[in-house]
Chain A
């Protein structure tokens, strides 16, 4: 444990001479251990990793006393020498496997490329090595897959290929920058297990960069927390999670949603607000000159559920299971068929002006707070838009007063109305989106992954806000998410969706604590749970 592979002392990174993103940090990574660097977005954790490899953007300035790889001073190396170290002695896995692979090269040749760079092998040996690597990352049927292009692989398989590329140089240190953030929870569990297994095989050190404390608690030997460019706390995982010292760490840990919290929900029955029965959402696949319909993509394939007044139904599923499609087609943003009754009004029977008038009943909050507001409009106008459209008789002054009141309800300063969306942070923007949805007094708000683009502490605040609003106004939520911990925190009922169908539904305690379906059990098992006692 006391032969550090990587030693970093007093590292700082500054942008354009004024904006310090990494502020005088020091740490060691030992051989064979898993070191985790945790922090919220913008805390400078990725920049730290990039600066060790000197891959910073052009306008960044790096300064450090030491960056040693074993006994090798990386700061003294020229760019040319460093190229031989990158990929050979330090491997790197990026967050997004979609954009990190070249779409016009086969995966085999992409792995070959890296091996050729560092080892002098014959053609056959090269091919053998590629197959070995693909086997090592557990890609089924490597002989066949070697000629595949990235688009033929699933997200998880692509990340496996990325890992294979990182391993090609047989590195001593593997840096994994949020390796599973864009993956589904079951695949995340597989990838993490794979990383663990490979680490045990090769004895390399793993430097894991993540925002997910629960994940880190299951993976890491040592943890460091970063806040605004500084490392505020470092420690062994066991101590770190049982006795956090720094207030920021405690705040982070408290913000984590807990699975156990679902037990506290009361289960009183209320009359149903929304009744959906036999709902379909099929896209035709057309082929041939005459565009004959040969088949359908069954995005939503016959679902039925109810939502009670003032309650929250969580719709859980992995990406591509049709949960977002279902949410949007309830609002008629995507055409669907089936019976949708809200408050006694059958929505599907309505068209044109009548439908427009009913729109006030259901509103939506989107996942990405950055693309869900028109960047050219003032926040006040954005919030007032619904009132303008559905209640044109309300006067300008009343509208303004209403906007002020809404801003107050979502805890934003009153002068926000006269500012543009880009001046706000992600969490604040999500508040604006909630205010926009609330403006028309909806009975039901469809929340489409409203917190998955946000940091844990902000996520906790938004969930708190949603709960408060529910208590005060009695709105119901259809909460679409892939994060089961958040479900436990907010939902009263849960519906689990798989390939367009709802395979299990019931109260939150039932589904999360005694799942009946195998898929639900698998999903729950894959969720990284904070290990408090080590």
Chain B
């Protein structure tokens, strides 16, 4: 197994989140908003969609080298599972579900004559003898098979969940545990009757839609290029799912980098005021007035120069690309902490005048302890809200930056790179639309889910809003 830099940080992030979850398990002021999220239909549905993306991204974050591989290639679990997709390269563009190439070629016929026409694809629809008549029934049949697979899988899952829930209730002797409510798995009413809460129902409905759709797509992708192929004949579906990790990494690692800065600086500035406040304010106003694109472009250039000078340390393409991705996260983090920092400074200014802070001072509690015990827990809701809100804007930022070529490495799969490539494809005649559409659909689903979830989180954690349901 090979651990890339971004992989390591993702593992760290998961560890941090798990420990935070364990730490906050018994805290009532966290439980209540979580329960509110659990009761919200939109919140739970978008969470399911997000988790779907996250699990794909995690699969793509376990890297290793195959023992018998001669190409010395680093691949991930996702790559391993998608080996057919990865290796079924065509010559050039082909439309979704096509059996023939998108451009004409000179071909030698069986009788030896030459003809200018669309050749059959090497892999897409290879099993068909007569594509014109067989293709549509075959697609229907295969997608039907895939759907059935998915339905069966979800049904089994639901049965399992139901059984676990039943035994849970019996064992707990009808005491509902709040953490289960928080996850939306158990509703307080459920202990009386067998009713499901609306949010639980919604989650299952969504699962019954997503899972069969996914299995159908996966099943079909073994036989066809469901989203077509790109200029060099690579499967677009594969590109799109590989881009999920890039999007998630940018969205989460950037926050990981910006959070400590925003929290430490914001709270210190608000609490100590005076020269500390002045210095921190100068830093972030200065940083804010430099165009961030300029900073990002400069630092990406720096990394490239560094990697060119130390070629020995970056042996494979994927390591180089990973380094650049990490650096992009870092520089995005450095440029984007100012907004949260301002919010936290303002909130701390308010909190430090609260009587409980004064009481702590009167009790002789040290400043550090006041910051940790009184200020930090009371600004956490702002941190949480802005983290979820920032996530989607960062995913979009990646797409924009890659479009102007200062984003991720051109060899990294990312929605930004796909869109960048589509610049020329859109000008082509006949037009190649599927790369752009695939990137758009995937990115849209992720960002929409993240935004909806952010709304629900904000409603639940914002003390001014959570009262008025």
Spot the interface stretch: A133-141, A151-159, A250-258, A356-364. Answer: A356-364
Contact residue among B362, B366, B374 (Cβ-Cβ distance under 8 Å from A374)? B374
Given contacts A374-B373, A374-B374, contact A364 B365 (CB under 8 A): no
Residues on A with C-beta less than 8 A from B369 are 389
- Whether A61 sits at the interface, judged by CB under 8 Å, is no
- Contacting residues, chain B, for A389 (C-beta < 8 A): 360, 363-366, 369
Q: How many Å lie between the Cα of A440 and that of B359 in the bound state?
A: 12
B377 sits at the interface (CB 8 A): yes
Known contacts A364-B358, A372-B355, A376-B29; is A357 also within 8 Å of B364 by CB?
yes
Question: Contacts A374-B373, A377-B373, A389-B369 given: A436-B355 contact, CB under 8 Å?
Answer: no
Chain B residue nearest to A436 (CB atoms) is: B359
> What is the bound-complex CA distance between A420 and B356, given in angstroms?
14
Chain B residues in 8 Å Cβ range of A360: 364
Interface string of A361-401 (1 = CB under 8 A from B): 01110101001111111000010011011100000000000
A420 B373 Cβ-Cβ under 8 A: no
**Smallest CB–CB gap between A309 and chain B, Å?**
21
Question: What is the 8 Å Cβ interface bit string for chain B, positions 339-372, against chain A (1 contact, 0 not)?
Answer: 0000000000000001110111111111001000
> Whose C-beta in chain B lies nearest to the C-beta of A59?
B468
Q: Are B362 and A371 in contact (CB under 8 A)?
A: no
Would you list which residues of chain B between 230 and 268 have a CB under 8 Å from chain A?
Answer: none
Inter-chain residue pair count (beta carbon < 8 A): 71
Q: How far is the CA of A359 from the CA of B360 in the complex (A)?
A: 10
A92 to B363, CA, bound (A): 45
Interface assignment of A127: CB less than 8 Å from any CB of chain B: no
Question: Whole-angstrom distance between the alpha carbons of A375 and B28 in the complex?
Answer: 11
Complex CA gap A211/B364 in Å reads 38
In the complex, B316 has a CB within 8 A of chain A? no
Determine the chain B residues whose CB is within 8 A of the CB of A440 once the complex forms. Answer: 363-364
CB pair B363–A375 under 8 Å, yes or no, is no
- Binary contact track B77-98/A, C-beta < 8 Å → 1, others 0: 0000000000000000000000
Q: Which of B117-148 contact A (CB under 8 A)?
A: none
| Contact-residue bracket for chain B | 20 to 34
Cα distance, A376 to B32, chains bound together (Å): 12
Cβ A366 vs Cβ B373 within 8 A? no
A331 at the interface (CB under 8 A from B): yes
Which of B29, B359, B377 is the most central at the interface, judged by chain A CB atoms within 10 Å of its CB?
B359
Contact with B along A335-353 (1 / 0, CB 8 A): 0000000000000000000
Chain B contacts for A420, CB-based, 8 A: 28-29
Residues of chain B within 8 A (CB-CB) of A433 are: 359
A359 proximity list for chain B (CB < 8 A): 362-364
Is A328 a contact of B358 with CB atoms below 8 Å? Answer: yes
Assembly CA distance A439 to B366 (angstroms): 17
Asked if A368 contacts B355 (CB within 8 A), the reply is yes
Report the bound CA distance from A439 to B363 in whole Å: 9
Answer yes or no: B55 CB below 8 A from chain A CBs: no
Q: Is B378 among interface residues, defined by CB-CB distance under 8 A?
A: yes
Question: Is the Cβ of B364 less than 8 Å from the Cβ of A372?
Answer: no
Give which listed residue, B29, B363, B365, B377, contacts A363 with CB less than 8 A.
B363
A residues in contact with B29, CB < 8 Å:
375-376, 420
Interface membership of A294, Cβ < 8 A: no
Are B363 and A386 interface neighbours, CB within 8 A? yes
Do the beta carbons of B355 and A366 come within 8 Å of each other? yes
Any B CB within 8 A of the CB of A333: yes
Q: How many residues of A contact B (CB 8 A)?
A: 30
Minimum CB–CB distance from B236 to chain A (whole Å) comes to 49
* Contact between B361 and A333, CB atoms less than 8 A apart: yes
Min CB–CB distance B402 → chain A (angstroms): 41
Q: Which residue of A lies closest to B378 (CB)?
A: A376
Q: Distance (Å) between the CB of B395 and the closest chain A CB?
A: 32
Q: What A residues does B362 contact at CB under 8 A?
A: 331, 333, 359, 362-364
Given A375-B29, A375-B378, are A385 and B360 also a contact pair (CB < 8 Å)?
A: yes
> Chain B residue with minimal CB distance to A368?
B355
Residues of the B chain whose Cβ atoms lie less than 8 Å from the Cβ of A386? 363-365
What's the Cα separation between A360 and B363 when bound, in Å? 7
**Which residues from chain B contact A382 at a C-beta distance below 8 Å?**
356
| A385/B363 in contact, CB under 8 A | yes
Contact B363 A390 (CB under 8 A): yes
> Among the listed A333, A357, A362, which residue makes an inter-chain contact with B358, where contact means beta carbons less than 8 Å apart?
A333
User: What A residues does B374 contact at CB under 8 A?
Assistant: 374, 377
Instruction: Determine whether the beta carbon of A390 is less than 8 Å from that of B364.
Output: yes
Give complex CA distance A13, B57 in Å.
54
CB distance from B383 to the nearest CB of A (A): 14
Question: Could you tell me the distance between the alpha carbons of A436 and B362 in the complex, rounded to whole angstroms?
Answer: 11
The smallest C-beta distance from A137 to any residue of chain B, in angstroms, reads: 35
Q: What sequence of 0s and 1s flags, for each residue 488-524 of chain A, a beta carbon within 8 Å of any chain B beta carbon? A: 0000000000000000000000000000000000000
Chain A residues in 8 Å Cβ range of B364? 356-357, 359-360, 386, 389-390, 440
- Bound: A359/B362 CA distance, A: 6
Complex contact A371–B354 (CB within 8 A)? yes
- Quote the shortest CB–CB distance from B354 to chain A (angstroms): 6
* Chain A minimum-CB-distance residue to B354: A371
Q: Judging by beta carbons under 8 Å apart, are B365 and A385 in contact?
A: yes
Report the Cα distance A373→B377, complex, angstroms: 13
Q: Which residues of B contact A366 (CB under 8 A)?
A: 355, 358-359
Q: Which residues of A contact B359 (CB under 8 A)?
A: 364, 366, 372-373, 433, 436
User: What residues of A have a CB within 8 angstroms of the CB of B356 in the complex?
Assistant: 371-374, 382
What string of 1s and 0s marks CB contacts (under 8 Å) between B27-62 and chain A? 111000000000000000000000000000000000
Residues of B within 8 A of A439 (CB): 363
Shortest distance from the beta carbon of A399 to any chain B beta carbon, whole Å: 14
Q: How far is the CA of A485 from the CA of B359 in the complex (A)?
A: 27
Contacts of B28 in A (CB 8 A): 420
B324 to chain A, nearest CB (A): 41
Q: How far is the CB of B27 from chain A (nearest CB, A)?
A: 8
**In whole angstroms, how far apart are the Cα atoms of A254 and B356 in the complex?**
33
User: Which residue from chain B places its CB closest to the CB of A358 in the assembled complex?
Assistant: B364
Residues of B within 8 A of A356 (CB): 364, 366
- A356 to chain B: closest residue by CB: B364
**In chain A, what residue has the closest Cβ to B359?**
A372
Residues in A with CB closer than 8 Å to B355 are 366, 368, 371-372
* Neighbouring B residues of A385 by C-beta, 8 Å: 360, 363, 365, 373
A333's closest neighbor in chain B, by CB? Answer: B358
Q: How far is the CA of A333 from the CA of B358 in the complex (A)?
A: 7
How far does the alpha carbon of A328 sit from the alpha carbon of B354 in the complex, in Å? 13
Q: Can you list 9 contacts pairing A with B, beta carbon distance less than 8 Å?
A: A356-B364, A359-B364, A364-B362, A371-B355, A376-B27, A385-B360, A386-B363, A389-B369, A440-B364
Please give the residue numbers on chain B whose beta carbons come within 8 Å of chain A beta carbons, in ascending order.
27-29, 354-356, 358-366, 369, 373-374, 377-378
Given contacts A371-B355, A386-B365, 10 further A-B contacts (CB under 8 A): A333-B358, A359-B363, A362-B362, A366-B358, A375-B378, A385-B365, A390-B363, A390-B364, A433-B359, A436-B359
Per CB-CB distance, the 9 closest pairs between chain A and chain B, nearest first, are A386-B363, A359-B364, A372-B355, A376-B377, A389-B365, A366-B355, A356-B364, A374-B356, A389-B364
